[in-house]
């Protein structure tokens, strides 16, 4: 029952405060003759009128007092009962309204407005069967009022009496003929009765009423798809395309058909047309594009997804969700710069999407956009003060700027949260260790490195940086060697950073030949890391290969190494004392 307002709201304004005409003046010409209105009846009318006035002003409790006074004079006054029920309904006291409407209908079962009021009260209190009985009676009493027939069917459906509801729609069809509302309603009922063939017949009959109406073919195709009758759906859509070749619904159904059989190549031309149209539901497009995320390793699917994402944002330029899914497509296609720009646009339209902020932080960090990372994480701290990940990336941003004390503030604050991700928690602890290491607070640095490995003993970042920290200081070298060896022997034997750390620990242990052997594996003509090149030069020097050492110190200098330190080594032809 699709009603914006209950039946009685308008009618009640007209009739709820009227008293019985026959109880007032039976003959106006004899007002002062054979009939004079009794005092009690006059008082009753006054109470009802005053009650209506109070109700209109919104004072429901005062209105109820007046109506109940009228009811005391005549307990069977249907007008008073009706107004009490109505007032309780307005005051959202539905069960109380129900308690008064039942005796009212016993007193007066012919008043149409009483019945319609009862229907609305029954509906809101979930008494659908009782509402159906009243609507059945009204439909018989007023056969020309088709709304009564439709509402009768509605309450039968709410009462789960589907077969009888179908019969009511059959009766309506006799009056007005078959139309979309009737056919669609009966289709739904046949499906509820598990008779899909009957549902199909309904839509086929609808098509016969207007064979050129494209929408009817789309409805039938949708039904076939829901029934997983793909071949019938395909045939129906072919008919639809003959009628309207540009129909976006037909295009989307054809796309769905080919997607259902994993034929993305045949689906793509239809999808391209669908994605171009701003009239097609954006959620449908987002769902389709989401399905491409698992296919991006295939170059054809990747190209298709990027084209569809571009069309999606062009058709819906003000929809954040369009940019968000396109950003995900680009991100998972390793198109980092393009993905970041699309995510920026997403945040311009909707700053509440924290998942997008996360992607932005990750890409800014990956792309080395230190200033951008600091700006965006600072904004995000205000928007998401309870999201630990914001604190982490803000700390990284300050760390990249070598502002170690500023980095410690968000990083240590993050540990105040309950971080369930063990790997992330360990990473934060290790990063705090890096900050204290840079500040030469070695006790605090080692405390946090130990915490990181206690949280996650396999944290490669913590193992590497802790080992390197100890090697720099020349302390606990056995522990440093153990951690570094674990990395190069068990975890990542080809990782240049880990090899450099291991070689440097060996160097500090004066195991120069072994160190030279290990780091020599990692050094190539293309090596650009200044620190690794400098270390290799230092190891070469300690093994007596001074000329070669100078070559690598020079390469380190060319690649951004410490100019003062390296130039002195080159000039002096030896390492610093």
Q: What pLDDT, on a 0 to 100 scale, did the predictor assign at position 225?
A: 86
Q: What pLDDT, on a 0 to 100 scale, did the predictor assign at position 452?
A: 98
User: If you search the block for the tokens 């980095």, which residue do you land on?
Assistant: 407
Mean pLDDT of the chain: 91
Q: Are 536 and 523 in contact (CB under 8 A)?
A: yes
Q: What are the DSSP calls for 309-340, one per residue?
A: HHHHHHH-TT-HHHHHHHHHHHHHTT-HHHHH
Domain boundaries, the chain: 1-126, 418-507, 523-577
- Per-residue pLDDT band for 36 (boundaries 50, 70, 90) equals low
Average pLDDT over residues 81-109: 93
Q: What is the DSSP letter of 74?
A: -
**Alpha-carbon distance 574 to 37, whole Å?**
127
> What is the rounded radius of gyration, in angstroms, for the C-alpha atoms of the chain?
40
Residue 177 has pLDDT above 50, yes or no: yes
Q: What pLDDT, on a 0 to 100 scale, did the predictor assign at position 2?
A: 38
Residue 4 has pLDDT above 60, yes or no: no
Average pLDDT over residues 526-549: 96
**Alpha-carbon distance 464 to 5, whole Å?**
71
Neighbours of 63 (CB within 10 A): 25
Q: What pLDDT, on a 0 to 100 scale, did the predictor assign at position 37?
A: 67
Q: Are 103 and 130 in contact (CB under 8 A)?
A: no
User: What fold, for 418-507?
Assistant: 1.25.40
Q: Are 497 and 526 in contact (CB under 8 A)?
A: no
Angle of CA points 297, 302, 303, to nearest 5°: 150
Q: What pLDDT, on a 0 to 100 scale, did the predictor assign at position 22?
A: 37
CATH class held by domain 1-126: mainly alpha
- Per-residue pLDDT band for 16 (boundaries 50, 70, 90) equals low
Give pLDDT tens digits for 351-373. 999 999 999 999 999 999 999 99
- Per-residue pLDDT band for 252 (boundaries 50, 70, 90) equals confident
Give pLDDT tens digits for 271-311. 999 999 999 999 999 999 999 999 999 999 999 999 999 99
Of 246, 319, 244, whose CA–CA distance to 285 is shortest? 319
Q: What pLDDT, on a 0 to 100 scale, did the predictor assign at position 21?
A: 36
Q: What is the 3-state secondary structure (H, E, C) of 118-177?
A: HHHHHHHCCCHHHHHHHHHHHHHHCCCCHHHHHHHHHHHHHCCCHHHHHHHHHHHHHHHC
Structure tokens at 498: 């880990």
Q: What is the 3-state secondary structure (H, E, C) of 32-60?
A: CCCCCCCHHHHHHHHHHHHHHHHHHCCCH
**Alpha-carbon distance 267 to 254, whole Å?**
7
Residue 556 has pLDDT above 90, yes or no: yes
Average pLDDT over residues 329-349: 97
Are domains 1-126 and 418-507 of this chain identical in fold?
Answer: yes
Average pLDDT over residues 462-487: 97
Residue 483 has pLDDT above 70, yes or no: yes
Maximum distance among all Cα pairs of the chain, rounded to whole angstroms: 140
Residue 261 has pLDDT above 90, yes or no: no
Q: Are 553 and 566 in contact (CB under 8 A)?
A: yes
Average pLDDT over residues 443-448: 97
Q: What are the DSSP calls for 454-470, one per residue?
A: HH-TT-HHHHHHHHHHH
Residue 91 has pLDDT above 90, yes or no: yes
């Amino acid at each position: 029952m699709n009603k914006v307002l209950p039946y009685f709201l308008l009618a009640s304004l007209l009739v709820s405060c009227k008293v019985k005409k026959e109880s007032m003046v039976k003959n106006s010409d004899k007002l002062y003759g054979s009939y004079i209105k009794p005092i009690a009846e006059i008082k009753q009318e006054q109470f009802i009128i005053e009650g209506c006035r109070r109700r209109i002003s919104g004072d429901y409790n005062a209105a109820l007092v007046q109506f109940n006074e009228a009811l005391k004079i005549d307990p069977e006054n249907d007008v008073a009962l009706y107004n009490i029920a109505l007032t309780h309904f307005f005051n959202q006291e539905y069960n109380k309204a129900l308690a008064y409407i039942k005796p009212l209908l016993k007193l007066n079962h012919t008043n149409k407005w009483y019945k319609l009021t009862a229907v609305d009260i029954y509906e809101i209190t979930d008494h659908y069967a009782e509402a159906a009985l009243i609507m059945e009676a009204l439909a018989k009493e007023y056969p020309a009022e088709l709304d009564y027939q439709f509402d009768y069917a509605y309450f039968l459906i709410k009462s789960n009496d589907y077969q009888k509801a179908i019969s009511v729609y059959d009766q309506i069809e006799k009056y007005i003929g078959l139309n979309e509302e009737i056919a669609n309603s009966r289709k739904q009922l046949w499906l509820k009765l598990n008779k899909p063939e009957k549902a199909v017949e309904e839509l086929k009959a609808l098509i016969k009423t207007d064979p050129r109406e494209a929408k009817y073919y789309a409805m039938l195709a949708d039904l076939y798809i829901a029934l997983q009758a793909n071949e019938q759906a395909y045939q129906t859509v072919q008919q639809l395309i003959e009628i309207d070749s540009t129909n976006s619904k037909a295009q989307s159904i054809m796309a769905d058909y080919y997607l259902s059989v994993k034929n993305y190549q045949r689906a793509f031309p239809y999808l391209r047309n669908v994605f171009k149209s701003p009239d097609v539901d954006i959620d449908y497009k987002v769902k389709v594009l989401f399905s491409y995320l698992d296919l991006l390793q295939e170059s054809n699917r990747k190209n298709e997804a990027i084209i569809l994402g571009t069309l999606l944002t062009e058709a819906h330029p003000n929809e954040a969700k369009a940019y968000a899914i396109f950003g995900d497509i680009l991100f998972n296609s390793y198109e980092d710069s393009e993905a970041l720009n699309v995510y920026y646009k997403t945040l311009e339209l909707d700053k509440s999407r924290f998942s997008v902020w996360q992607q932005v932080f990750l890409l800014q960090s990956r792309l080395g956009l230190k200033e951008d990372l600091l700006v965006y994480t600072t904004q995000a701290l205000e928007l998401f003060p309870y999201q630990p990940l914001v604190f982490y990336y803000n700390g990284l941003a300050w760390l990249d700027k070598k502002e170690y004390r500023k980095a410690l503030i968000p990083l240590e604050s993050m540990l105040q949260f309950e971080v369930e991700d063990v790997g992330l928690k360990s990473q934060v602890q290790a990063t705090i260790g890096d900050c204290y290491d840079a500040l030469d607070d070695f006790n605090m640095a080692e405390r946090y490195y130990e915490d990181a490995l206690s949280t996650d003993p396999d944290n490669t970042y913590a193992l590497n940086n802790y080992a390197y920290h100890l090697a720099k200081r020349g302390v606990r070298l056995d522990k440093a060697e153990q951690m570094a060896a674990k990395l190069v022997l068990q975890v990542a034997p080809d990782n240049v950073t880990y090899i450099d750390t291991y070689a440097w620990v060996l160097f500090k242990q004066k195991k120069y030949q072994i160190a030279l052997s290990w780091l020599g594996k990692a050094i190539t003509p293309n090596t650009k890391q200044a620190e690794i090149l400098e270390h290799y030069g230092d190891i070469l020097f300690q093994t007596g290969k001074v000329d070669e050492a100078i070559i690598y110190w020079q390469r380190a200098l060319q690649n951004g190494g410490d100019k003062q330190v390296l130039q002195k080594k080159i000039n002096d032809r030896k390492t610093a004392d």
